[in-house]
Chains A and B, each alone.
Chain A
């Protein structure tokens, strides 16, 4: 087994070596002829960017200008692979490509002459193959960049809370470095605060208003864009955006979308909106998480009913996101924690409780009113999304109107939770389940909610899955068509769907009941389909029906139930007559 794994791994690693060493720069050749230059000291990083299943970008800053070198390998004792930077610089950006998915690599950074940083704590794990369902932890930091004890308290609380479970990625919701997003401020508020996390977990960020010092010009000259390396060409999943301002990437079965609510056009027909439509139309990921700085719903230190960026994101971008099946939208800007119920269509200004639809008004907790449920298959537009404002990772200020109460006295109408408390969010995704937690600066979880995906989409709630309605020319927004029998075979469209029949062709469900001559028992066989539940009933008088089998979930195979008298009390041959029926219903 170990040999087989090694045989697979070696060509992949060899490819990484070839790709990164394939184009040595002229300056590299000159340096190679002389003694290699030393890097001086490490002044920033290392930190990870642009992560995917087959690549990782490693960045760091050195005091001396040299050609950076990353040594890496799958054990800390054997960093047998090398990737060099393109030219001498103090700002090192080295891309490792051709990596194996879901694989941990250890690394060191430095130059040909020295190693500035490395060891057993310098490692990263590549993303899973896109589409793969793996347990994923995401740490969400909004407006963290105060470089104060508030920020470190939130950090330390999360580190203690998560323990040995290192998150797979970190989302920064903007305002990462107060006050103007200068390089020095980023050093203080990001690189000096999270050094151990930055070296092993990729940080992805959107642009906040403090990254631009409030400027709204759509340019790349803000220090933010020199510090982060974004996937502009779709190299980490999603479609190319052609810009650092907004982009998307995949992690397993989650598609992440980062938008620029600060400087990009927020028009419904603008470049960002047009790209977003294409991106959402192309992803087949099970989960869609979007993040941008300005919250579409808030009554925190900002008011989403009166401020331009917030209003425009809500009115112009949210319809695209919700039509695209978004599950969770994360924002900052307001220095508080607010979390909505499962909602859809709240686009109006001002936002009233009647502006849209509450797909669930519960708390989304499995221990209380239940998780928020969304369909697993089929078109998932407008089944609801949760909107969270997590802008208190560095400070908690006040509510709209000036109150500093722990709970907002006049909360936003779509919100379930509104807390003025320092903290950060954690998103855990495992298969068809998403759990979110708000971990405050004392390490206490103040809020949780769960979204579970199950069953087939059924937009009109008539029991017939949308996919079946689409495939058979029905209207997935009209519940009355479930009772039609267009092929006049005595079965409604709902029955045809449950049995897996064709509503346009007279046909029957092919189950059977037969006596086994050898045993004398009656054998009931019936074909099954996924997302259905089946149960056999029996009767001796056609009036009173009793459950025979237990309820079983369909899986595409034919099931068998034998009446040997155990359940029915008497063997079939003893009674004069016995009737059976198979009941089919929608299942998870």
Chain B
């Protein structure tokens, strides 16, 4: 059964006003479990996880059908830093809703907070198996958990799968570059940047990234050449583009980098 937390009582106005509105509705229908749960979600959105837990208690005491209160309880417990309790709540909830991606992601986060890196990564992988087209934000989180579990190759594979479906997304390219750099695999990072450069319409920012990675790899001569290549490309741009903020900033970076690298290796 799909659990929905769509609410009809989210009136306009401030969070306090919405909570007060929910309270008035509860006063008129004090036995309606769903109202307590909705107010609890509002409390949680406003940052009051304690008040949320009280409302979840009230909702569970009254509920005659599964409203998904366990998931809300787990989120509130996690927000309050009670990760072991949140884990237990999620176990119960997921036993009934095993394919609930949101709950799986929440449990992965709880595992992470509990220091269970391997379990966190595995749980997030399981959650993503229920997502047809992963979003960059999800891949970022997945990659972080996999890397924390020492599974950098799996993280890079997940990035590559997503990039294949949505090519050229710079956030994913950068995520991959950071992981490769973390592994000391500069050639891998440079390969990723080179692929991105070939596909990009605006190549200059990626050219700067390439030059910076070469410097970090200790390849000073190559880095100097890359910065100068960027400088030449910037100089050849029409004035209206060359004088833009973005290209002026890249020009400044190139100038500083060349100065610093030349000072290191005159």
Q: Within 8 Å of chain A (Cβ to Cβ): is B51?
A: no
Q: Within 8 Å of chain B (Cβ to Cβ): is A146?
A: yes
Residue numbers in A under 8 Å from B135 (CB-CB): 218, 220, 242-243, 245, 271
A178-B12, A281-B249, A381-B249 given; A213·B168 CB < 8 A: no
Closest CB-CB distance, B192 to chain A, in whole Å? 14
Q: Within 8 Å of chain B (Cβ to Cβ): is A457?
A: yes
A180-B6, A213-B10 given; A467·B136 CB < 8 A: no
A283/B246 in contact, CB under 8 A: yes
Contact with A along B156-191 (1 / 0, CB 8 A): 000000100011111110110000000000000000
From B14, B137, B244, B245, contact of A218 by CB (8 A): B137
Cα–Cα, bound, A137→B209 (Å): 36
Closest CB-CB distance, B226 to chain A, in whole Å? 16
Q: Within 8 Å of chain A (Cβ to Cβ): is B25?
A: no
Comparing A25-33, A231-239, A312-320, A507-515, the segment that makes contact with chain B is: A231-239
From B7, B174, B255, contact of A213 by CB (8 A): B7
Residue numbers in B under 8 Å from A239 (CB-CB): 168-170, 200, 202
B245/A398 in contact, CB under 8 A: no
Closest CB-CB distance, A73 to chain B, in whole Å? 30
**Interface secondary structure of B, over-half rule:** helix
A180-B6, A278-B205, A470-B255 given; A245·B246 CB < 8 A: no
Cα–Cα, bound, A68→B43 (Å): 45
Closest CB-CB distance, B85 to chain A, in whole Å? 21
From A275, A284, A286, contact of B170 by CB (8 A): A275
**Interface secondary structure of A, over-half rule:** loop
Cα–Cα, bound, A307→B200 (Å): 38
Q: Within 8 Å of chain B (Cβ to Cβ): is A179?
A: yes
B252/A243 in contact, CB under 8 A: no
A239-B168, A242-B166 given; A179·B8 CB < 8 A: yes
B248/A379 in contact, CB under 8 A: yes
Q: Within 8 Å of chain A (Cβ to Cβ): is B63?
A: no
Cα–Cα, bound, A317→B153 (Å): 30
Q: Within 8 Å of chain A (Cβ to Cβ): is B122?
A: no
Q: Within 8 Å of chain A (Cβ to Cβ): is B221?
A: no
Q: Within 8 Å of chain B (Cβ to Cβ): is A324?
A: yes
Cα–Cα, bound, A180→B247 (Å): 43
A214-B10, A335-B12, A470-B255 given; A280·B41 CB < 8 A: no
Q: Within 8 Å of chain A (Cβ to Cβ): is B102?
A: yes
Cα–Cα, bound, A284→B205 (Å): 12
Most A C-beta atoms less than 10 A away, residue of B175, B205, B249: B249
Residue numbers in B under 8 Å from A55 (CB-CB): none
**Residues in B36-61 with C-beta less than 8 Å from chain A:** 41-42, 45-47
A271/B136 in contact, CB under 8 A: yes
Q: Within 8 Å of chain A (Cβ to Cβ): is B266?
A: no
Q: Within 8 Å of chain B (Cβ to Cβ): is A40?
A: no
Contact with A along B244-265 (1 / 0, CB 8 A): 1111111110010001000000
A308-B47, A467-B243, A470-B248 given; A271·B13 CB < 8 A: no
Contact with B along A262-298 (1 / 0, CB 8 A): 0011000011101100111111111000000000000
Cα–Cα, bound, A282→B204 (Å): 8
Closest CB-CB distance, B160 to chain A, in whole Å? 13
From A178, A278, A379, contact of B249 by CB (8 A): A379
A457/B205 in contact, CB under 8 A: no
A243-B137, A302-B14, A470-B251 given; A214·B172 CB < 8 A: no
Closest CB-CB distance, B4 to chain A, in whole Å? 9
B137/A271 in contact, CB under 8 A: yes
A380/B162 in contact, CB under 8 A: no
A180-B6, A213-B5 given; A218·B138 CB < 8 A: yes
Closest CB-CB distance, A457 to chain B, in whole Å? 7
Cα–Cα, bound, A178→B9 (Å): 11
Q: Within 8 Å of chain A (Cβ to Cβ): is B95?
A: no
Residue numbers in B under 8 Å from A376 (CB-CB): 243
**Residues in A359-399 with C-beta less than 8 Å from chain B:** 376-381, 395, 397-398
Q: Within 8 Å of chain B (Cβ to Cβ): is A217?
A: yes
A240/B168 in contact, CB under 8 A: yes
Q: Within 8 Å of chain B (Cβ to Cβ): is A569?
A: no
Cα–Cα, bound, A398→B11 (Å): 14
Closest CB-CB distance, B131 to chain A, in whole Å? 8
A308 to B, closest residue via Cβ: B47
Cα–Cα, bound, A219→B127 (Å): 12
Residue numbers in B under 8 Å from A219 (CB-CB): 101-102
B168/A395 in contact, CB under 8 A: no
Residue numbers in A under 8 Å from B201 (CB-CB): 234
Closest CB-CB distance, A260 to chain B, in whole Å? 9
Q: Within 8 Å of chain B (Cβ to Cβ): is A241?
A: yes
Contact with B along A299-338 (1 / 0, CB 8 A): 0011000011000000000000000110000000001000
B166/A232 in contact, CB under 8 A: yes
A300 to B, closest residue via Cβ: B14
Cα–Cα, bound, A467→B204 (Å): 17
B7 to A, closest residue via Cβ: A213
A334 to B, closest residue via Cβ: B14
B12/A146 in contact, CB under 8 A: yes
From A274, A280, A307, contact of B175 by CB (8 A): A274
A471/B255 in contact, CB under 8 A: yes
Residue numbers in A under 8 Å from B17 (CB-CB): 301, 397
Q: Within 8 Å of chain B (Cβ to Cβ): is A215?
A: yes
Cα–Cα, bound, A397→B246 (Å): 40
B140/A271 in contact, CB under 8 A: yes
From A179, A216, A233, A270, contact of B168 by CB (8 A): A233
Cα–Cα, bound, A215→B102 (Å): 11
B174 to A, closest residue via Cβ: A274
Residue numbers in B under 8 Å from A217 (CB-CB): 102
28 A/B residue pairs, CB under 8 Å, sorted by A:
A178-B12, A179-B7, A179-B10, A180-B8, A213-B7, A214-B7, A219-B101, A232-B166, A242-B169, A242-B171, A243-B136, A245-B137, A271-B137, A271-B175, A275-B170, A280-B246, A283-B246, A284-B202, A284-B246, A286-B244, A307-B15, A307-B47, A308-B47, A325-B246, A377-B248, A379-B249, A397-B14, A466-B252
A interface residues with partner B (beta carbon < 8 Å): 131, 146, 178-180, 210, 213-220, 232-234, 239-243, 245, 264-265, 270-272, 274-275, 278-286, 301-302, 307-308, 324-325, 335, 376-381, 395, 397-398, 400, 457, 466-467, 470-471, 473, 476
By Cβ-Cβ distance, the 6 closest A-B pairs, closest first, are: A278-B170, A242-B169, A325-B245, A377-B243, A242-B166, A284-B244
10 more CB-based (< 8 A) A-B contacts, given A215-B6, A381-B249: A180-B6, A232-B166, A265-B137, A271-B135, A271-B172, A274-B140, A278-B174, A283-B202, A286-B244, A377-B244
B interface residues with partner A (beta carbon < 8 Å): 5-8, 10-15, 17, 41-42, 45-47, 101-102, 135-141, 162, 166-172, 174-175, 200-202, 204-205, 240-241, 243-252, 255, 259
